[in-house]
Every structure is written in C-alpha cells, then in structure tokens.
Structure 1
C-alpha cells in the first residue's frame, strides 16, 4: 500500500515533521466498524499502529486490522478553501474533508 501526498499537503504538513504520521480509522461513536471515519494524525507515540505504508513524504502508519478500508494506492491533498485534507484513490473519495490532528 502507498500514499502520495500532493505538494499542497506536504507544504501544510512539513512544519510538523517529528513524530509518527498516521491514518487513523476512527470508529468511536460510529455505531459500526463499517461507518468509521479516517483522520490524519501526527503523534509522538506509535501506539498500536502496526503497519507502515510507503509515501513520497513520510512513512504513514495504519492499524493492520483496518487495512480493508483503505485502497492500495491513495492520495492525500490539502483543500485550502476548507482548511482540511482529502483522502482519495482512483476508485473513490475515502474522506472528502479529512481532519488533521497534531498530537506531536
């Protein structure tokens, strides 16, 4: 699996260059695991994120049990108008307004 960051996304994220970059599949208060929401998280701790995805920016971690909800090739873009990120692939938009959380 691979994640490609657009130039705009890299520019927005490069100030937070320390820590672990994670795609967190959040299922809290979603009712069902299939209704989870992906968030982009920069965190000082690896935690239970046990799978590393290749990237053109920094390695990205996910939790292996949620890899089924991600595509083989994904792209993260930054949307300046909405001040958020978008996670997409060639076949779908996984999260059109992905939240970024900096815990680092």
Structure 2
C-alpha cells in the first residue's frame, strides 16, 4: 500500500498536532454507520496503537492502519487538505474515499 501526504496536508497535520505526542492512524470508522461496509475514513491521533495495527510508510511520516480494515482502502492513496472545504481529503486514482475527512485527536500524553 502506498500513501502520499501532500505538502498542504502535512502543514495542517503539523498545525493540529503541534506539541502533542502520539501516532497518526488512518481509521475506517464504522461506529454508528449501521454495518461494517458503511464506514467512514478518519485520521486519528492516538496515544497507543492496537494489536492489529500495521505501519504504512509515507513520503512524510508513518501512518498506522488496522490490518483487518485494509480491504476498505485502495492500493494507492493520497491525503490532501482542501482550504475550500477546510478538511482533509483521502483520494485514490479511482475515487475520492472521503472528501471531508476529519483529524480526531484522542487523549494523548
């Protein structure tokens, strides 16, 4: 799997996580969505990784994902930031996986 993080996304991630420790995780969140195939992709800053998380090296930093949820992602993806939408975007050559992706900061040390 290949993930590219654009310069604008890198700057916004750095702004939002400045001074915080943790791991950046690309999560396929199914809570409140009805069933497992109706999830939403979200960026999370977490203080601890889960046992099933795998590391994906990017052009900027390591991003973690739940191994069991990789089936919901494309092989090549890009994380971008849209100033117009004021949100992150997860795209692939085939589709926009989430055009208004949030960065959720969980409790970090």
Normalising by structure 1, what TM-score? 0.92
SS of equivalent residue, structure 2 residue 68:
helix
Structure 1: gaps of 5 or more residues? none
Q: In 1, Cα distance between the equivalents of 2:88 and 2:47?
A: 20
3-state SS in 1 of match to 2:8: helix
Determine the C-alpha separation between the residues in 2 that align with 1:33 and 1:60.
22
Structure 2 equivalent of residue 25 of structure 1:
28
1:60 matched to 2:90: no
Secondary structure of the 1:9 match is: helix
SS in 2 for 1:14: helix
Tell me by how many angstroms 1:48 deviates.
Answer: 4.0
User: Structure 2 CA distance, aligned partners of 1:64 and 1:78?
Assistant: 25
- Indicate if the aligned counterparts of 2:26 and 2:43 stay in contact, CA closer than 8 A: yes
Count of aligned positions? 104
RMSD of Structure 2 on Structure 1 (CA):
1.4
User: Are 2:24 and 2:43, in contact at CA under 8 Å, matched by a contact in 1?
Assistant: yes
TM-score norm. by structure 2 comes to: 0.88
> How many Å apart are 1:52 and its aligned residue?
1.2
Matched with 2:40 is 37
- Give 5+ residue unaligned stretches, structure 2: none
1: distance between equivalents of 2:52 and 2:27?
9
| 1:48-101 deviation digits (Å, cap 9, x = unpaired) | 451111201111111111100011110000011221100010011111110111
Query: Whole-Å Cα distance in 1 between the matches of residues 79 and 63 of structure 2?
Result: 11
